[in-house]
A and B are shown apart, each in its own frame.
Chain A
């Protein structure tokens, strides 16, 4: 890898980490198109590097949320069975799938993410504390000096939804948070903050299963993954500091437009019009 290209990838990954942190997304949604469209890597190589980056961003923030008690570790582990299995299956499918088909699927994923960012999904009530089947997944955390207590409902439905998030992650190299967060919030009645923190904990486990598959098939390029991981980590650190100062709504609208534009490029790549 040429040092100038390496520097370009570090800067792109840092921008992905920064934007991802500001918008509450993993960097994968930006890294994969950037590596394929700007730097000419294959979809599988880009996805492999992206999964490593997803683990880097999730690990840093997940430990913070677990210590703060916002992540529901029990719920995260139970859903983690479904997401990691989904991640494993998704990665296996992606390894044997033509990269043009992956580009097409990624294009649809970008459109869904843009839609997810501009809609308001926080209108469902919180599930009251109490057991959910064989498990008591009730949890609480502090928000602005108030204790938020909640329970969890629809565990089976939630696991099915999380498995879809896992497949998406393993197949396309994204964190899967755009699927996991609405599943926990809308179907399972988990408060938004706890759903985001728990999703952050889960995406590390999900990406782990997918990354191991890509690693075994020799699809994680050491140099590429190293510079992407370093860039994303630095960008997400900066993003977490800036996030308190910036207003998210306008940024989300602009970024949604960017995502739709990039999805068009991905569709062109899928059609073989772009290299």
Chain B
């Protein structure tokens, strides 16, 4: 590794750490200037609140419920995106038939989706539906692009050598599609969790992260609200990191 590369590697680690430190300092300074704990709680009290949450069994129940909803929505979106993208690739008319639905879901304001879902479904189902409605078009488009992005020359080569379909899918199609799919997954996995929490706030879903955030806000307990926010940020960040790590392992030879 050259000296320049070493410097860049150190900067890659140091600069994000410095940015976080700077943001925390700015927050602490603003807190000091405002001087009202209820509006801008100190970092110390936020962490105290976080540790209080971590010691509480209800916190884990709420977190598990929210994560289960988020995972359900994501899996449903992923499975249906794979099925519809495959159908689109195999039968061109499916793309034309689906295009208005995808376009409609994509441009529809998220708040409309949340409010309609609240009218039509109960408070447990609507967060799943809301996250599904936003994540599905993203994943569908991303898989369609990935399918279209598979190198035509390599497909022709596989046909020329009569490589069987199973081998083609496992060794050509999936590895060629992986980078595009992981990019889509990385951007949608965090968004999915955010949407579930947003819908839980509005739907007042019992025993959820969203409803606890709403309660903290109603009680003017900003420190607790920030503690819940930290939890959501950590979980979303961890999910994105996991996708990045899997993608780094899975995408070979590039």
Q: Do A and B come from one complex?
A: no
- Which B residues fall within an 8 A CB radius of A? none
